[in-house]
Each structure stands twice: as structure tokens, then as C-alpha cells.
Amino acid sequence: MNRSEKAEIVAKLKQIFEDSGSVILIDFKSVNVPDMTELRRKVRESDSQYQVVKNSLALRAAESTTVEEIKQHFDGPTAIAYTQENIVGLAKVMRDFIEDHSGMSFRVGVLDGQVLSGEQVTSLADMPSREELLSKVLFLMNAPLTQMVLALKSPVQKLAYLLRQLEENKSQA
């Protein structure tokens, strides 16, 4: 790889680090090509990206970005997973893959400029997704209204039932 190719890779990585709200460093060993292809497909489905990086180039790209705070973790085989929006979804996809492949683990992550340890990234993956949280909030907001409607409806139903019984009694007599 010549200097111009390296400079191009560094520029692309720097752009990724600046644009991405979240970056996760992953340690990977002994993962075969079909499994890596499957992982990349799953990561793309979550509107995220996954890429194996050369540490020396990634270190140059990390300068004066939020990723610079974790530069000491660029050691050994390193991959990055990054997203601009759904870090929880990305962490879930990665955690599910890591559970099936013992050669992989979370090293560290950066979320909106804050450094997360590997354990914190794992606990982030255990959080409910944004959609799940929104549905819970909507359910909680809807519950009092539903209970009020049922409470108001109950006396009317009882009155209608009583009138129906009186009508049936009159028709039988």
C-alpha cells in the first residue's frame, strides 16, 4: 500500500469518526470469512457499518476526534462498528454475534463523546430499543384514558341491562 492509498484511508476513517455519533471497537480472532460476511449484512440492516481497520491508520485518523480518547485500545486485531443513530440496535446485533463467536469481544466504545467500557457496551445492548420504549410510554399514557372510558361506560351498561331485563319480564308476564 503506497502513501496516497494510506492517506485516502486515513481521510475516510477520520470522516467516519467525525460523522458517527457512536463507535465501538471490537476485538476479533478466529472468525471465518462467511461469518464476517453475515455480520456485515446484519450490521448494515441496523443502519450501521462494520469495518476491520489497520491500527496505525486508525490512530492517525482518530487525532482530534472523539475517538482519540480511546486510542490506547487500538492494539491487535481491531474492527470498528459505527452508527449515526441507533447505537442500541448496533450493540444488540454485535452482542448476539459475539455470543455465538468466542473469538470476538467488545473492547471499548464512544457514545456522543463519552467513553464506554466493554461491559458498558454490553449493558447498552441489554437496553430496550427506542421503539420498545416509545410503545411502553404510549401504553402508559393510554392506560388512564382507557380506564376512565370503562368506568364511564359501566353505569350505562348496567342501566341498559336492567331495562332489557324489565322488558323481558313484561313480555313474559
Tens digit of each residue's pLDDT (9 = 90 or more) over 162-171: 788 888 888 8
CB 23 within 8 A of CB 84: no
The overall pTM is greater than 0.85: no
Task: Note the pLDDT of residue 89.
Answer: 85
CB 83 within 8 A of CB 22: yes
CB 93 within 8 A of CB 51: no
CB 26 within 8 A of CB 82: no
Sorting pLDDT into bands at 50, 70 and 90, what band is 41? very high
> Using CA atoms, how far apart are residues 85 and 48, in angstroms rounded to an integer?
8
> Using CA atoms, how far apart are residues 21 and 113, in angstroms rounded to an integer?
8
Q: What is the mean pLDDT of residues 58-62?
A: 88
Sorting pLDDT into bands at 50, 70 and 90, what band is 157? confident
Does pLDDT of 130 surpass 80?
no
Does pLDDT of 173 surpass 80?
no
CB 48 within 8 A of CB 90: yes
According to CATH, what is the number of the domain 3-127? 3.30.70.1730
Alpha helix segments (H runs only) across 79-129: 87-100, 118-125
Q: What is the mean pLDDT of residues 57-64?
A: 87
Q: What is the mean pLDDT of residues 25-35?
A: 85
Q: Is the dihedral of CA 142, 148, 149, 150 positive or negative?
A: positive
> Using CA atoms, how far apart are residues 55 and 137, in angstroms rounded to an integer?
43
Q: Of 106, 103, 105, 107, which Cα lies nearest the Cα of 32?
A: 103
Does pLDDT of 156 surpass 80?
no
> Using CA atoms, how far apart are residues 31 and 34, in angstroms rounded to an integer?
9
What dihedral angle (degrees, nearest 10) is formed by the CA atoms of 64, 66, 69, 72? -80
Dump pLDDT digits (tens) for 65-108.
888 888 888 888 888 999 887 888 888 888 998 888 888 888 89
Task: Note the pLDDT of residue 154.
Answer: 76
Q: What is the mean pLDDT of residues 35-45?
A: 89
Does pLDDT of 153 surpass 80?
no
Tell me which amino acid residue 42 is: K
